[in-house]
Amino acid sequence: MRMSNEEMKAPTDLPFHKAQPYRIKVVEYARPTTREQRKALLKEYGWSAPNLPAEYVYINFVTDSGTGAMSDRQWSAMMLGDESYFNCKSWYALEAAIKELTGFEYILPCHQGRSGEAILYEVLVHEGDIVPSNTHFTTTRAHCYSRQAEPVDLLCAEYMDPERKDVFKGNIDTDKLRDLFKEQAKKIPAVELVMPNNLNAGQPVSMANLREVKEITNQYGALLFLDMARLPENAHMVKNMEAGYANKSCLEIVREACSHADVIHMSSKKSGLVNIGGFVAVKDRTTFLKLHPKLIRTDGFITYGGLAGRDLEALAVGLLEGVNDYYLMDRQRQVEYFANALKKRGVAIYEPAACFAVFINAGKCLPHIKPIEGPGTALASQAYIEGGLGITPFDSLHRAREDSKDPLNLAKLGLSPFELIRCAIPRRVYTEAHYEVAADAVEAAMKHGAQIPPYRRIKVDRPPIELKDIGLRPFFDEFEPMGVHP
List interacting residues with ligand F0G (CB under 6 A). 63, 65, 112-114, 137, 139, 194, 198, 227, 229, 267, 269, 278
Query: Least distance (Å) from ligand F0G to the CB of residue 6?
Result: 29
Nearer to ligand F0G, 200 or 485 (CB): 200
Cβ distance 335 to 355 under 8 Å?
Answer: yes
Q: Is 38:384 a contact under the CB 8 Å cutoff? A: yes
Q: How far is CA 357 from CA 56, 89, 113, 323, 422, in A?
A: 21, 36, 19, 17, 7
Q: Determine contact, residues 305/126, Cβ cutoff 8 Å.
A: no
CB of 139 vs ligand F0G, minimal distance in Å: 5
Complex with ligand F0G: residue 63 or 377, whichever CB lies closer: 63
Nearer Cβ to ligand F0G (69/194) = 194
Shortest distance in whole angstroms from residue 441 CB to ligand F0G = 20
Radius of gyration of the chain (CA): 22
- Measured from the CB of residue 273, what is the shortest distance to ligand F0G in angstroms? 13
Nearest CA to 474 among 460, 485, 486, 453?
Answer: 460
Q: Least distance to ligand F0G from the beta carbon of 325, Å?
A: 22
Nearest distance, CB of residue 300 and ligand F0G, angstroms: 16
Between 231 and 253, name the residue whose CB sits nearer to ligand F0G.
231
Nearer to ligand F0G, 366 or 389 (CB): 389
Residue closer to ligand F0G by CB (options 278, 407) is 278
Residue nearest to ligand F0G (CB): 113
Min dist CB 420 to ligand F0G, Å, is 13
| Closest distance to ligand F0G from the beta carbon of 471 (Å) | 12
Nearest CB to ligand F0G, comparing residues 181 and 304? 304
Which of 58, 137 has the CB closer to ligand F0G? 137
Least Å from the CB of residue 109 to ligand F0G? 13
> Cβ of residue 197: shortest distance to ligand F0G, in angstroms?
8
Q: Which is nearer to ligand F0G, 48 or 63 (CB)?
A: 63
Q: How far is the CB of 160 from ligand F0G (least distance, A)?
A: 21
Half-sphere exposure of 293 (CA within 13 A, CB side): 4
CA distance 411 to 388: 35
User: Min. distance of Cβ 449 from ligand F0G in angstroms?
Assistant: 29
Report the residue number, 206 or 372, with the smaller CB distance to ligand F0G. 206
DSSP collapsed to 3 states, the chain: CCCCCCHHHCCCCCCCCCCCCCCCCCCCCCCCCCHHHHHHHHHHCCCCHHHCCHHHCCEECCCCCCCCCCCHHHHHHHCCCCCCCCCCHHHHHHHHHHHHHHCCCEEEEECCHHHHHHHHHHHHCCCCCEEEECCCCHHHHHHHHHCCCEEEECECHHHHCCCCCCCCCCCECHHHHHHHHHHHHHHCCEEEEECCECCCCCECCCHHHHHHHHHHHHHHCCEEEEECCCHHHHHHHHHHHCCCCCCCCHHHHHHHHHHHCCEEEEECCCCCCCCCCEEEEECCHHHHHHHHHHHHHHCCCCCCCCCCHHHHHHHHHHHHHCCCHHHHHHHHHHHHHHHHHHHHCCCCECCCCCCCEEEEEHHHHCCCCCHHHCHHHHHHHHHHHHHCEECEEECHHHHCECCCCCCCCHHHCECCCCCEEEEECCCCCCCHHHHHHHHHHHHHHHHCHHHCCCEEEECCCCCCCCHHHHHHHHHCCEEEECCCCC
User: Based on CB atoms, which residue is closest to ligand F0G, 142 or 250?
Assistant: 142
Q: Choose between 275 and 334: whose C-beta lies nearer to ligand F0G.
A: 275
